Structure 1
Amino acid sequence: MIVEQRPLTDHSSTDRRLVHRSALSEVFLTDAVAEDALTYIVAAQLPPSHAYFTDHLSRRGGIDPLLLLECCRQAETYVSHRYLDVPLGYNFILASWSMSFENLHYRNRIEQCVSLRLSVHTEVPRYIAGQLRSVTFRIEISTATAVRLGTVAMKVKYTSKEVYRALRESRRGSAPKMNTELPGARHGVVEAVTVGRLSAQNVVLSDLRHTPNGIKAQVCPAFDNPSFFDHPQDHVPAMVTVEAVRQLALLALADECGLSAMHTQVSAIEGTFYDYIELDTTTELTVAELTTRVDTDHPGALFRSRLHVDVEQESKTMCRLVMELITARGSITPAAMTA
């Protein structure tokens, strides 16, 4: 293992192939060095404007936590190919991830166009016949000036295209549909403003309803949205699933607790993925549990919320996510807390 002793730069983007992107505008990494055999330092630069990641009605300003998550996804992908010798063309299978952006809330006035440093630590590698099959990444996110923003952990598996294709077809009984093969028309999409968005293109929910079993909605991303589908996909990407859960969380907090989407930000996420979410099958989200409390230790009278969301297709659980959110001053006081 060669340890690289040189400063990181932000002069240009990394090879888009190594972060699984087609468009250079969707590549946020700029450089990387190996600190030792297990740790890599990756540089990234956040865009000052982006069709998806800066399309928010938030009055808080600051950095979208999901943009930081995407930088971490790109970092683990880049490290896998460049340093861990995972071949180009292999499929990456996300098993689980967790993240905390608690510090981001208190530093929400950081400018959008900012350089990041991601400290990527690898652990628990599993090899079969000399080929890496899975690894866990633990990533610490800071600005280039050493302001700590959060942490992300994810377990990723790797498989060849041949094995991946056989796995997908055996589970479905047929070849999976690509987003480019499916109709683009969407119906019953929720209003963009209700999920803190300006553009309807970035809304990924439809058929919102309240049931005895909880608030439900369906996932319906725009298949021609280049931020969601930068290249052809045969499943709903994990980043789209997380965005869907965030939007459902904002709707649930508004409807059940009277909390404003414009003052609410994600602070933590935990997710376990059990199977691929098919594009051509109805995907149902259900808020299985929702709790909200006032943070009396904070002078800004923050509300802290936690939601458990099940993601199902044909009554089968495809993944489960727990999302924590912070609602800052300026929100409506929940009726349940005014008594």
Structure 2
Amino acid sequence: MTTFAPVQTKAHNRTTHPASSSPQRGLTTTVPKEYVHRAVVTEVFLTGWESTDADSVTVTAQWPRAHTFYGPSAGFHDPLLFMETLRQTVPLLSHAVYGSPMDHRQIWEELSVTIEPEAMRLHPTAAALELHIRCSDIERRAGVVRRVRMAVTAVRDGHPLATATTSFTSHSRALYQRLRGGYADAEKAMANAVTLPMPLRPDLVGRDRHHDVVLAATDCEDRWQLRVDVLHPIIFDHPADHAPGMLLLEAARQAAQRVHGPTPVLVTGLEAAFHQYVELDAPAWVTARRAEGDDRVLVTVEQLGTVMFECAVTVHPAS
């Protein structure tokens, strides 16, 4: 379980063009960062959306050829760029399409993704994406959306890129505070975060910088402590009262790479379930093992003896 918390920002005015002016065609911008719960506009990958019927939406996005965290490797875009793109569609649909108030928080329940590896190759230009989204199982309370399931088909420059399904719930600020109790204060939760343990060597988990490693060694080869760096500028783009979902997915990816050894692998699929919030004030433990008979790595995150997150990661040689 992970929450897409709204970013606290000052009110801003939306610029409008005079009625007599012609629209500027061919210009691209990002959607408002508030719609995707990002504090920094350069971390917004979505560029627009259009409702095609009552519960169908086409979302456009653009990936940079380089990124400080989701950077390319072995000639491929980082597959977690797609996961982050999906994550951004959750609050976008909640707020912009279904009208949830901006202080509502969206909670990820589950995520299933299949990626075409060849579609992840780097090109000389930025990647242009279209996500065709069909929403179902929509639940409302007092006219406000409470739960949505999304089926996504993504194309890159007109070619198949990925398919995905995911579901999320949306809660008002008051309900979220009741659910979280004493943990609802993000700044207090971050101040009480456990001390960061030493990271694994970056090359063991497909990274090239120590501060991007989210696993720390333990006495067991297939078990690591989750490194929750609340000062990481991408993982914690804004204050959060629990470990973000993208941190858990990154931990699953790094664990899968560690299990497969030093040869780079590309994530081409995952099945993730967010059971409970991973809190910041207690150690969390990541375990991984190969599944029998296929290329999946089965990853769990436990805290205080309870499984909080599970993910089956499918990988492909990055060659």
**Equivalent AA in structure 2 for residue 150 of structure 1:** A
CA-CA distance at 1:184 after TM superposition: 8.5
Which residue of structure 2 lines up, in the alignment, with residue 147 of structure 1? Answer: 159
Q: Residues 184 and 111 (structure 1 numbering): CA distance in 2 closer, same or farther, change over 3 Å?
A: farther
Contact 2:185–2:241 (CA under 8 A) maintained in structure 1: no
Q: Residues 124 and 111 (structure 1 numbering): CA distance in 2 closer, same or farther, change over 3 Å?
A: farther
1:86 to 100, 104, 110: 100
SS in 1 for 2:236: coil
**TM-score (ref. length: structure 1):** 0.81
**Equivalent AA in structure 1 for residue 54 of structure 2:** A
Alignment partners' CA distance in 2, 1:31 and 1:15: 9
Which residue of structure 2 lines up, in the alignment, with residue 20 of structure 1? Answer: 37
Cα deviation code 1:26-47 (max 9, x no counterpart): 1111111111111111111111
Alignment partners' CA distance in 2, 1:108 and 1:176: 38
Alignment partners' CA distance in 1, 2:58 and 2:251: 30
Structure 2: tracts of 5 or more residues without a match? 1-22
Alignment partners' CA distance in 2, 1:45 and 1:140: 16
Alignment partners' CA distance in 1, 2:33 and 2:274: 26
SS in 1 for 2:94: helix
CA-CA distance at 1:251 after TM superposition: 0.8
Alignment partners' CA distance in 1, 2:244 and 2:125: 25
CA-CA distance at 1:225 after TM superposition: 1.2
Alignment partners' CA distance in 1, 2:314 and 2:101: 36
Contact 2:119–2:161 (CA under 8 A) maintained in structure 1: no
Q: Residues 37 and 246 (structure 1 numbering): CA distance in 2 closer, same or farther, change over 3 Å?
A: same
**Equivalent AA in structure 2 for residue 189 of structure 1:** P
Which residue of structure 1 lines up, in the alignment, with residue 269 of structure 2? Answer: 268
Q: How many residues align?
A: 297
Which residue of structure 2 lines up, in the alignment, with residue 334 of structure 1? Answer: none
The 10-residue stretch of structure 1 (28-37 or 227-236) with the greater mean CA deviation from structure 2: 28-37
Alignment partners' CA distance in 2, 1:175 and 1:16: 22
**TM-score (ref. length: structure 2):** 0.86
Contact 1:42–1:117 (CA under 8 A) maintained in structure 2: yes
Structure 1: tracts of 5 or more residues without a match? 1-5, 255-259, 294-303, 330-339
CA-CA distance at 1:138 after TM superposition: 1.2
CA-CA distance at 1:219 after TM superposition: 0.7
What percentage of residue pairs aligned between the two structures are identical?
26
Contact 2:62–2:128 (CA under 8 A) maintained in structure 1: yes
Q: Residues 175 and 183 (structure 1 numbering): CA distance in 2 closer, same or farther, change over 3 Å?
A: closer
CA-CA distance at 1:328 after TM superposition: 4.8
Which residue of structure 2 lines up, in the alignment, with residue 115 of structure 1? Answer: 128
Describe how 1:259-338 pairs up with structure 2 within 5 A: 260-262=262-264, 264-287=265-288, 289-291=289-291, 305-328=295-318
Alignment partners' CA distance in 1, 2:226 and 2:125: 29
Q: Residues 176 and 27 (structure 1 numbering): CA distance in 2 closer, same or farther, change over 3 Å?
A: closer
CA-CA distance at 1:279 after TM superposition: 0.9
Greater relative contact order (CA < 8 Å, ≥ 6 in sequence)? 2
SS in 2 for 1:35: strand
**Equivalent AA in structure 1 for residue 149 of structure 2:** T
CA-CA distance at 1:182 after TM superposition: 4.1
SS in 1 for 2:220: strand
Alignment partners' CA distance in 2, 1:130 and 1:253: 48
Aligned-pair RMSD on alpha carbons?
A: 2.4
Contact 1:21–1:231 (CA under 8 A) maintained in structure 2: yes
